[in-house]
Amino acid sequence: MKSQLWSKPTPWRMIVLLISSMISTSAITIYALSITQSASRQTSPLPSVRPKAIKAVAALGFLEPEGEVIELSAHPSEGGARVERLLVQQGAKVKAGDAIAVLDPIGHVIEV
């Protein structure tokens, strides 16, 4: 003879089954989380590696100026005059009309 408890589904039977499955699922989840957390606590932190300071760089290539490069020469009437003194440093920025050099006046023959 079968028991009446198992022969016919009752709401109590479903509630007990549902609660027991929730408890077992919760227990498994808590156990899995505790294992992963303990494993992460046991690992030692990696030592920090400081990069070495770069002292020099070697490369092949071309250096190009950022701005515009202008070729300068003496006026043709000067007849190839020499530069006596530079008034600006190499790489300095100049504006139109700025004096950049003094030409050597010696050795020029003025023809009349």
Asked whether residue 15 is assigned to any structural domain, the reply reads yes
How far the first Cα of the chain sits from its last, in Å, is 146
What is the model's pLDDT at position 112?
Answer: 46
Q: Is residue 83 assigned to a domain?
A: yes
| pLDDT at residue 83 in the model | 73
- The boundaries of the domain holding residue 97 are 74-112
Q: What is the DSSP string of 20-37?
A: HHHHHHHHHHHHHHHHHH
pTM: 0.30
Residue 61 belongs to some domain of the structure: no
* Tens-binned pLDDT, residue by residue, of the chain (112 aa): 556 655 666 788 889 999 999 999 999 999 999 888 776 666 666 778 888 888 777 777 776 777 777 776 666 665 656 777 888 887 788 888 888 888 776 655 555 4
Residue at 16 is within a domain? yes
Q: Residue 11 has what pLDDT? A: 83
Domain count, the chain: 2
**Residues in CB range of 101: below 8 A, 6 or more apart:** 83, 84, 85, 86, 87, 88
